[in-house]
């Protein structure tokens, strides 16, 4: 994949796994350590961008450049923050596309990993997205580190892929 990307003038990004399933509806999620907020303000969107940058090892300005000022991410995307003691530690978003919810930009702060935060906030984003838009099918692209968080349902499918830029 790396050689093909370079031949096309692209840079290899990262490996991933695509998943699709029919997990919806889900019960309203909860986690004993977390409260959830829907992203509706620029301050919340900055926290969402910063969580993604920190979790994936990017400079903060890279995430901010992609998200700040976006009306899509403060409206149509059901972007959720998970807060521990009032501090954002995890995030996930869903957006309706072609009759399904696409799960996007899931991240957990490095100091909050391995506590079930990513799964809880993803379920919250799926719950809110499905409640607002109605689909019962969900799709996502997971990094190698994130793939174990999203086990495919019995009716789900997975496929490996690679990202290029």
Divide the 165 residues of the chain into consecutive groups of 10 and give the mean pLDDT of each group.
74 70 81 97 98 92 94 94 97 92 92 90 92 83 68 44 44
Q: 100-108 and 138-143 as β-strands: parallel, antiparallel, unpaired?
A: parallel
Q: How far apart are CA 140 and CA 97, in angstroms?
A: 12
Q: What pLDDT shows up at residue 146?
A: 66
Pick the CATH number of 15-164 from 3.40.50.300, 3.40.50.720, 3.50.50.60, 3.40.630.30: 3.40.630.30
Cβ atoms 10, 44 nearer than 8 A: no
- The DSSP line for 53-67 is HHHHT--HHHHHHHH
Q: What pLDDT shows up at residue 34?
A: 98
Q: What pLDDT shows up at residue 61?
A: 95
Q: What pLDDT shows up at residue 21?
A: 75
Q: How many CB atoms lie within 10 A of CB 63?
A: 23
Q: What pLDDT shows up at residue 5?
A: 67
CA dihedral 111, 34, 136, 104 (to 10 degrees): -30
Sign of the CA dihedral with 134 first, then 136, 141, and 147 last? positive
Q: How far apart are CA 24 and CA 14, in angstroms?
A: 28
Q: What pLDDT shows up at residue 8?
A: 81
Q: How far apart are CA 38 and CA 22, in angstroms?
A: 23
């Amino acid at each position: 994949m790396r050689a093909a990307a370079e031949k096309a003038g692209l840079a290899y990004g990262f490996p991933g796994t695509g998943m699709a399933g029919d997990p919806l509806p889900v019960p309203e999620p909860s986690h004993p350590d977390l409260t959830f907020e829907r992203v509706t303000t620029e301050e919340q969107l900055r926290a969402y961008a910063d969580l993604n940058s920190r979790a994936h090892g990017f400079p903060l300005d890279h995430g901010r450049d992609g998200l700040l000022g976006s009306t899509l991410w403060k409206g149509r995307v059901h972007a959720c923050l998970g807060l521990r003691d009032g501090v954002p530690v995890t995030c996930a978003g869903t957006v309706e596309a072609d009759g399904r919810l696409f799960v996007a930009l899931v991240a957990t702060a490095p100091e909050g990993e391995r506590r079930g935060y990513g799964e809880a906030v993803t379920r919250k984003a799926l719950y809110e997205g499905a409640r607002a838009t109605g689909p019962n099918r969900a799709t996502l692209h997971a990094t190698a580190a994130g793939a174990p968080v999203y086990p495919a349902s019995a009716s789900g499918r997975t496929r490996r892929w690679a990202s290029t830029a």
